[in-house]
Amino acid sequence: MQLHLRARIVLIQVVAVVSVMLFLALMLIPRLEAGAQQNRLDELESLARVVAYNASAPLYFLDEGAAAEAAEVARVDPQVRRVAIYDMNQELFAIAPEGARATPTLPFRAGEDTLIVQRAIGQEGDWVGVVVLEVGTEDLREQSASIRSAALLVGLAGVMLAFGLAWALEGVVSRRIIALSSAIDHVRLAEEGTFRVPVALGTQDEITDLGLRVNELLDAIELREAQLLATHQQLEHRVEERTAQLAATAQRTNAILQSLMDGLLVVDSHHVVTESNEAIRGLLGRDPVGEPLRAFLIPAHGELDDSLDQDVGRITQWTLVTDEAEPVPVEISIALIAGEGGVRSVLSIRDISERMRLDQLKADFVSTVSHELRTPITAVYGSLRLVLAGVTGPIGAASQGMLQRAFDNSERLIRLVNDLLDMQRVERGQLIIIPQPVQLDQLVLQAVEASQGYDPRDIPIRITGAERSCWVNADPDRIIQVLQNLLSNALKYSPDDGEIAVSLHPLDGRVRVVVTDQGPGIPPEFHDRIFSAFQQADSGPGRQKPGTGLGLAVSKAIIDGHGGSIGYESPPGEGATLWFELVTLAAEAIQEGSGPAAK
């Protein structure tokens, strides 16, 4: 280990010095060579400038001899091999030395290992020719070789210096570090007792300071070990207490799950039951743990695997196959939990057979009562109508008011019975709709006319957009029923000085009928259940507006049966707007007298 550490220290020091020397060499050599070359180019430029100055007059006067003498001046530099002067037509005019050869026109062709320097003759805007110098590069190569030799010598001297410094530092630093490392090894391997790094207190340097800090660290480690031992004992005690608490919690949770009236199943990713409670075992007549879920549960729609994924977070109705002869209808709610075995599904199962039986009894009771009430109420309504019409003779003023109230209440009872019967048909899917091509604008006029006497306050009803014929494929009686429900709702909540607006808005392939009142609007808490059965914004024992809350629910069922849509808008403090849309008939369908059948 000592040799390895020493070798690393020496190597690091040598590499650091050598790296610096190499970096300097790589940076300086190109700069020195470039500087030498630039100096040489500056000298040649100066020489070319002299030749150009001396040759300008001979070129003006076409004196080739004088031009040759001017070119010969550049030959004072021993490295200049040829000097050529070209006139303004770029043709060779003179050359030195005498008898030398050059291309008759520019560009000048140089030989190998030569440098070309060109200079224009004349002044800017009045050039008369060009002087070309061909210079040998022997001196540049010699300078480059000498620079590199000098750099190599400097590098070798740096390497030698690096080795010397490395050995010196190794003796001063690395040996003491190795001694410190050996002491730490003794501390690490010691099984008993304490050990500290020996420190020479007479010296004040970084190594001595490091030894003191190592001893401080060993003291802190011993203190931390004692603290960790105490903490470990406390944690063991807490783990024992927590384990006992978790066991008790698990027992309570299991007892709660087993006491639930709803069945509970846990299935793995392969849809095999892994856990169950007492309620589901009672429903099935056996323990389903280990059985595939499809062996006793049938979803309402589709395959079981798809339903388990799609019905997460929803309440759906499935069928439970038990050991008894009859399957049991159940409500299923599914949740997902993540555990060590992956994602599992938790199914909460509730037997709804008794509730369905009671719902059927209720539906049968309501249907029976409604049918039984309809006949006597219709008879009373008809009789009162005849009496009020004077068929049975004149009636007194006192009797007139009482008979009128009885007639109005019997009319309300008939509407209530009809709404109850329609709601029963909707719940059973037996609502009858007989579509035929009809003019929706005429149905709106009929419904408004029939609603004029519904409210004794004579609130005006304004109609817009009914001047154009609008044909739809619909059951006229049912659409008038929807319109009367919307109008009666608007009349019910309109103020005494209010007004009701009914408008038709043709859309792209559809038509929208809008009924707007000036009442208090729809409360925000009632928005989600406005089209639910037996729901009213003014509900409770102290409500001031009469009604059963069935009109809008029946209206939605009728519009849905026509393939249309129904909705509402209720800006705060601006009354309520109820609307429905139907598909319009094309012109050819109206001419043929038929349209798309509604379901």
- Which residues, at least 6 apart from 555, have a Cβ–Cβ distance to it below 8 Å? 481, 482, 485, 486, 531, 566, 580
What's the one-letter identity of residue 574? E
Q: What is residue 389's three-state secondary structure?
A: coil
The CATH T-level fold of domain 432-592 is: Heat Shock Protein 90 (3.30.565)
Superfamily of segment(s) 2-149: PAS domain (3.30.450.20)
pLDDT tens, N- to C-terminus, the chain (599 residues): 444 555 666 667 667 767 777 776 677 777 777 777 778 788 878 888 888 788 887 887 787 888 788 788 877 778 787 888 888 888 888 888 877 788 788 888 877 778 888 888 887 777 888 888 888 777 777 777 887 787 778 778 777 777 777 676 665 566 667 666 766 666 666 555 566 666 666 666 666 777 777 777 777 887 888 888 889 889 998 998 888 888 887 777 666 766 667 788 888 878 888 888 888 887 787 888 888 887 788 787 777 777 777 777 777 878 888 777 678 888 888 888 876 667 788 888 888 777 777 767 776 766 676 666 667 777 776 777 777 777 777 887 777 777 777 776 776 677 777 777 766 677 677 678 889 999 999 999 988 887 776 667 778 888 887 677 789 999 998 898 889 888 888 888 888 888 899 999 988 889 999 999 988 888 777 777 777 655 555 544 433 445 556 778 888 888 988 899 998 888 767 788 899 999 988 765 665 554 443 33
Three-state helix/strand/coil letters over 206-217: HHHHHHHHHHHH
Query: In CATH terms, are 260-351 and 432-592 the same topology?
Result: no
At residue 472's C-alpha, the angle toward residues 471 and 473, to 5°, is 135
Right CATH number for 260-351 from 3.30.450.20, 3.30.1600.10, 3.30.470.20, 3.40.50.300? 3.30.450.20
Backbone φ/ψ region at 371: left (φ over 0), alpha (ψ -120 to 50), beta? alpha
Separation between Cα atoms, residue 23 and residue 14, nearest integer Å: 14
Separation between Cα atoms, residue 77 and residue 49, nearest integer Å: 14
- Which residues, at least 6 apart from 211, have a Cβ–Cβ distance to it below 8 Å? 180, 197, 198, 199
Separation between Cα atoms, residue 329 and residue 320, nearest integer Å: 6
- Domain map (residue ranges) of the chain: 2-149, 260-351, 356-423, 432-592
Is residue 344 within a helix (H) or strand (E), and if so which, with residue range? strand 342-351
